[in-house]
Amino acid sequence: MATVSELKSKAAELRKIANKLDEAANALATLAGDEESWLLPLASAASELGDLAKMSGVDAIFRVLKEAGTPLQKTTLSQRLRDRGKEIGENTLQSYLSRDKRFQSYARGRWGLAR
């Protein structure tokens, strides 16, 4: 299992790679004469990497479920949180989901926003 410092280091490396890819895509768009159509999606994608790291656990869960727009399996939710820089243990995730009124269980292992 990776340590926290190793994970932070890897996240920093990935941010650098994302920034380089963003610059390359913008350069290609400029050459093609269509710069504006590339800027928004790339900026959005680059900002998603690690964007949940500084949020509270319940707020990060809320954001992921809101963006999904549909209930998610708990394993999928956990993976999306990890992919975006928020590591929440399985028991802690279950506790957040079951205690916060913003979340609702829709079926076995599927969670979404309360109606």
Residue 108 Ramachandran class (φ > 0 left, ψ -120 to 50 alpha, else beta)? beta
Helix (H, G, I), strand (E, B) or coil at 32: helix
Structure tokens at 55: 């949020």
**Structural domain boundaries in the chain:** 4-48, 57-113
Helix (H, G, I), strand (E, B) or coil at 78: helix
> Mind listing the pLDDT tens digit of every residue in the chain (115 residues)?
678 777 777 777 777 777 677 677 766 766 766 544 444 454 455 445 578 888 999 999 999 999 999 999 999 999 999 999 999 999 999 999 999 999 999 988 899 999 8
Q: Read off the pLDDT of residues 37-56 as tens digits, 9 standing for 90 and up.
A: 444 454 455 445 578 888 99
Q: What is the pLDDT of residue 6?
A: 78
- Are the beta carbons of 97 and 105 closer than 8 angstroms? yes
Q: What are phi and psi of 73, to 5 degrees?
A: -65, 145
- Are the beta carbons of 62 and 102 closer than 8 angstroms? yes
